[in-house]
Structure 1
Amino acid sequence: MRQYAKHIRTRKKILVIFAILILYVLHSTIHIYIDSSYLATLIGESRVGLIFTLASLVTIGAIKLMPRMLRAIGNQRLALYLMGIQFASLSALATSPAPLLGIVLFIINFAAIALTTYTLDIFIQHYSEKGSIGKIRGFMLTMANVGWLFAPLIASFILTDGDYWKIYLTSFILLIPAFILVISYLGDFRDKVFKETPYLRSLRSLWRRKDLLGIYLISFLLNLFFTWMVIYTPLYLHGTIGFEWSEIGVMLSIMLLPFVLLEAPLGRLSDTGLGEKELLSAGFVIMAVATYFLVYLDSPNFLLWTLVLFVSRIGASTVEVMSETYFFKKFGDKDITTLGLFRTIRPFSYLIGPILAWPFFIYFDFKFLFVFLAFLMFYGLRFSLSLHDTK
């Protein structure tokens, strides 16, 4: 009976965390596809990647400090402080600050979002029951992607004539209910005594453990795909192809449907049926083929662009849920440094992505960025096929 009551309490906590996750993702992604366009108004398109690189360096440095911050104040209070930082930076961005201040505020907000996501990850893993990690991770990603799905659609209705301040103000408002839920329902969260491994030792361990290294590299390729798509696709669709923001918002929302429709079923499938290795490989093939096809789209054909982007996200959603599931089944969350390394992959991709993309602005046509990206996704098969299944 006591065990059943504990199970019910855990389920309630998971539902609250999922609600926080939807609200938080909606808040943090409503501006993600316009960030590059906003920064372009401050420093020009060719320098946008540099700002993302600087933001990523700050984020990676901050993530290295997370174990120390978690021990000092605990996960729940840290989440609240980080949300407070976002309230401050978003309210300032909504006032249309001077270029230099706008860049600094963007970097602060970028890092705070990544660190808050880290704290939400700890909440979710804490309440996840063994034997259902794939199911919970799949459902978690589905809930998060509900936010990703609606964010560009909402942004397209709000954004007119480049008034980006409205988007940042909306993001501020959306953070309020998530902040209230963290205060009201997670105040009794009991932090684990996390095992912290020295950073260099974790890197050496990563290199020796082939499955861990493989899933890190898979996650890096996936996040590099997301990085280029988030930074450069809106610029390309709006600036080169000629789509209006109202069209882009609808297109991106349809494009993201696979993340909502597929990740929960695929997470359950990984618990009971087909292994992560096979699904990861299939996902990379789909991503590579669809991304390569983008090179041949040079007119504002809404249906064709939407279809190809949609297919690419079928592959990306498969790789995303399988990489998350594989990591947490194999390695869990007890070593906070290993988890921290896993969560630096996204900012690291924002660090490397603009550097890799830079030559395509200088020496090649913009669209050949998609050719190189397709090649990298196909190369991901080398890592997915070398993994050992968790079963």
Structure 2
Amino acid sequence: MSVLMRKTHHFRLFTGMKRLALVIFIFSLSAAFIDTIWAVYLDGFFHNDSMVGFFSGFLSIISFLCFFALVPLVEKSNKAKLFSMVVILFSISYLILALTHNFWIFVLFSVTITILSTLKIMSFGIIVKDNSKNKSLSENEGMMYTFSNVAWVIGPLIAGFISFNLGIPFVFFISSFLLLFAFLLFKLFRIKDEKDKNYRKVDLNIIGNFFNFFRSKERVIAYILGGGVNLWWALIYLYTPLYIIHNGLNEKWIGIFLFAVAVPLMSFEYYFSKFAGKHGFRKIFFIGYLLPAVMVLTSFFIGNVYFVLSFLVFGSVGMAMLEPTTEAYFFDMLKNKREEDKYYGPYNTAIDVGIMMGKFAPAILLIFLPFKYIFLLFAMFMFFLAVTSLKTKKIVESKR
């Protein structure tokens, strides 16, 4: 995270995509703080693992619907202005959660944050795409994820320490401050919306666009693979913290685990994305899903909590192959800016489909079976995704 910015001739260190990367680093640091304590925060209201899963799944349904309902807003909006508005509203929401522990206020702002998350994903993703050349998209996506994952490395450690010593409300308060700082930096950098001037029409056929999206086999495969990444993170960020607590470890271990999970992402994502840009996506996708499949299957047969956590960390190496490349693969299949605006919203519903499956399926499973069967369930998911990846289209960015 050593690349810096440029606003005027007085600032020469941060230029181009690196300015965006710095903003996303600070935003991700706040997100890492919240995700570290979120499962425990929910458990403080529900006191039941299955209910935590069901409520999280409910939020994912809202997010799924938002990717439909908010497409016209995103299409007609200046993406830079929309993103900055979302960041400041995030900051206000976290500040309110820091100041109250009322259940209904918690529900209201959980829904608010979910809606804001969909706007952030759609607006920022298009900002990155529109500021990238075709041959550099995978590399730029890799840069964004690398900067983001530096935050996900240090964030859980800090959040775990703060929540253990000062309490969860302090985590929300600091996250709110970080988002305010990200908002000010974004404005300072004067990041623009590089929207295609030749395409202005807003397509209001939201449901039709969704069904049109699935008329292409290649888009369906991209959708499944993109959702699979988020399926895995439901295990890591929702159920594994509960597993840690129920095995007698404290919140510090949640921070240590999430720190360790992010290290391979920070270390390898940029290089894997460059490899995919030069050599294609298929092999990266296959290995990326096969590795966590093997690791989580091994976890099913191993009872020692420390070994299980180690296997899950090693499985995140596979996610380093997938996070920056699945979205780049989707964009590389699109023909023009119009398709980008038309299909990016439907594509992003894969995030919530993956998360919903990753939350609801284990929640139902826990009603009937012990916790360890969650590992077997996720192993089946990952093996299926590895096989599906072999059907991807041959796209090599360096040859385009």
* TM over 0.5, shorter chain: yes
Contact 1:30 1:152 in 2 (8 A): yes
> Offset at 1:289?
0.3
Which residues of 2 match residues 172-183 of structure 1 at below 5 A?
172-183=176-187
> Offset at 1:118?
2.1
Contact 2:72 2:202 in 1 (8 A): no
Question: Is residue 68 of structure 1 aligned with residue 54 of structure 2?
Answer: no
CA RMSD of aligned residues (A): 2.2
Q: Could you say if the C-alpha distance between residues 103 and 161 of structure 1 is closer, same or farther in structure 2, counting changes exceeding 3 Å?
A: farther
Contact 1:62 1:111 in 2 (8 A): yes
The percentage of counterpart residues that share the same residue type is: 20
What corresponds to 2:8 in structure 1?
Answer: none
Matched AA of 1:74: N
What corresponds to 1:246 in structure 2?
Answer: 252
Which residues of 2 match residues 25-44 of structure 1 at below 5 A?
25-44=28-47
Contact 2:69 2:206 in 1 (8 A): no
Alpha-carbon distance between aligned partners in 1 of 2:75 and 2:140, rounded to the nearest angstrom: 26
> Offset at 1:146?
1.3
Higher mean Cα deviation, 203-212 or 363-372?
203-212
Alpha-carbon distance between aligned partners in 1 of 2:58 and 2:227, rounded to the nearest angstrom: 18
Alpha-carbon distance between aligned partners in 1 of 2:171 and 2:200, rounded to the nearest angstrom: 38
What corresponds to 1:205 in structure 2?
Answer: 212
Contact 2:36 2:258 in 1 (8 A): no
Alpha-carbon distance between aligned partners in 1 of 2:68 and 2:16, rounded to the nearest angstrom: 28
Alpha-carbon distance between aligned partners in 2 of 1:71 and 1:314, rounded to the nearest angstrom: 35
Report Cα offsets for 1:250-279 as digits up to 9, x if no partner. 222122211111111111112223x21111
TM-score of the two chains, using structure 1 as the length reference? 0.90
Higher mean Cα deviation, 207-216 or 81-90?
81-90
What corresponds to 1:56 in structure 2?
Answer: 60
Alignment match of 1:355 (pick from 353, 360, 364): 360
Contact 1:54 1:107 in 2 (8 A): no
Alpha-carbon distance between aligned partners in 1 of 2:153 and 2:182, rounded to the nearest angstrom: 18
Q: Could you say if the C-alpha distance between residues 14 and 334 of structure 1 is closer, same or farther in structure 2, counting changes exceeding 3 Å?
A: farther
Alignment match of 1:341 (pick from 340, 346, 349): 346
Q: Could you say if the C-alpha distance between residues 339 and 194 of structure 1 is closer, same or farther in structure 2, counting changes exceeding 3 Å?
A: farther
Report Cα offsets for 1:180-224 as digits up to 9, x if no partner. 122222364343336655333333333321111101011112211
Higher mean Cα deviation, 285-294 or 141-150?
141-150
Alpha-carbon distance between aligned partners in 2 of 1:320 and 1:88, rounded to the nearest angstrom: 29
Structure 1 unaligned blocks of 5 or more: 1-8
Higher mean Cα deviation, 138-147 or 195-204?
195-204
Which residues of 2 match residues 5-16 of structure 1 at below 5 A?
12-16=15-19
> Offset at 1:179?
0.2
> Offset at 1:352?
3.2
What corresponds to 1:101 in structure 2?
Answer: 105
What corresponds to 1:286 in structure 2?
Answer: 291
Alpha-carbon distance between aligned partners in 1 of 2:317 and 2:75, rounded to the nearest angstrom: 39
Contact 1:125 1:333 in 2 (8 A): no
Contact 1:280 1:384 in 2 (8 A): yes
Question: Is residue 153 of structure 1 aligned with residue 142 of structure 2?
Answer: no
Alpha-carbon distance between aligned partners in 2 of 1:387 and 1:48, rounded to the nearest angstrom: 35
What corresponds to 2:20 in structure 1?
Answer: 17
Aligned length: 378
What corresponds to 2:222 in structure 1?
Answer: 215
What corresponds to 2:3 in structure 1?
Answer: none
Give 3-state SS (helix, strand or coil) of 2:330's partner: helix
Alpha-carbon distance between aligned partners in 2 of 1:333 and 1:33, rounded to the nearest angstrom: 36
Matched AA of 1:24: F
Alpha-carbon distance between aligned partners in 1 of 2:234 and 2:166, rounded to the nearest angstrom: 22
Q: Could you say if the C-alpha distance between residues 190 and 237 of structure 1 is closer, same or farther in structure 2, counting changes exceeding 3 Å?
A: same
Alignment match of 1:266 (pick from 266, 269, 272): 272
> Offset at 1:81?
2.1
Q: Could you say if the C-alpha distance between residues 162 and 299 of structure 1 is closer, same or farther in structure 2, counting changes exceeding 3 Å?
A: farther
Report Cα offsets for 1:235-262 as digits up to 9, x if no partner. 01112x2222212212221222111111
Report Cα offsets for 1:67-98 as digits up to 9, x if no partner. 32235542122122222321221111101321
Contact 1:286 1:315 in 2 (8 A): yes
Which residues of 2 match residues 256-335 of structure 1 at below 5 A?
256-273=262-279, 275-301=280-306, 304-331=307-334, 334-335=338-339
Give 3-state SS (helix, strand or coil) of 1:32's partner: helix
Matched AA of 1:28: A
TM-score of the two chains, using structure 2 as the length reference? 0.88
Alpha-carbon distance between aligned partners in 2 of 1:207 and 1:72, rounded to the nearest angstrom: 24
Give 3-state SS (helix, strand or coil) of 2:164's partner: coil
Q: Could you say if the C-alpha distance between residues 306 and 300 of structure 1 is closer, same or farther in structure 2, counting changes exceeding 3 Å?
A: closer
Q: Could you say if the C-alpha distance between residues 48 and 333 of structure 1 is closer, same or farther in structure 2, counting changes exceeding 3 Å?
A: farther
Q: Could you say if the C-alpha distance between residues 213 and 188 of structure 1 is closer, same or farther in structure 2, counting changes exceeding 3 Å?
A: closer
Matched AA of 1:230: Y
Contact 2:37 2:160 in 1 (8 A): no
Q: Which runs of 4+ in 1 moved over 6 A?
A: none
